[in-house]
Amino acid sequence: MSTSAHSHDREEGLAFQPKFDASGLVTCVATDAASGDVLMVAHMNEEALRRTIASGDAWYFSRARNALWRKGESSGQTQRVVEMRMDCDQDAVWIRVEQTGAACHTGRRSCFYRKVTTAEGDTRLSFVDAERLFDPAAVYRK
User: Do residues 109 and 132 touch, judged by C-beta distance below 8 A?
Assistant: no
Interface residue with a copy of itself among 1, 4, 5, 36 (CB under 8 A) is: 36
The SS3 of residue 13 is coil
DSSP string, 104-131: STTSBSSS--EEEEEETTEEEEEESS--
CB of 101 to a copy of itself, least distance (A): 16
Interface residue with a copy of itself among 6, 9, 13, 135 (CB under 8 A) is: 13
Interface residue with a copy of itself among 126, 138, 141, 142 (CB under 8 A) is: 126
By CB under 8 A, residue 57 contacts a copy of itself? no
* Residue (53 or 140) nearer to a copy of itself, CB: 53
By CB under 8 A, residue 133 contacts a copy of itself? no
* Residue (53 or 73) nearer to a copy of itself, CB: 53
CB of 70 to a copy of itself, least distance (A): 18
State phi, psi for 111 to the nearest 5 degrees: -70, -15
For residues 86 and 84, give the distance between their C-alpha atoms in angstroms, rounded to a whole number: 7
By CB under 8 A, residue 132 contacts a copy of itself? no
Burial per residue of 75-86, b for 16 or more beta-carbon CB atoms within 10 angstroms, e otherwise:
bebbbbbeebeb
- Helix or strand holding residue 102 (H, E): none
For residues 18 and 6, give the distance between their C-alpha atoms in angstroms, rounded to a whole number: 13
* Residue (6 or 115) nearer to a copy of itself, CB: 115
Task: Summarize as ranges the residues that interact with a copy of itself (CB under 8 A).
Answer: 11-16, 27, 29, 31, 35-38, 40-41, 53, 83-88, 92, 94, 104-106, 108, 111-116, 118, 123-128
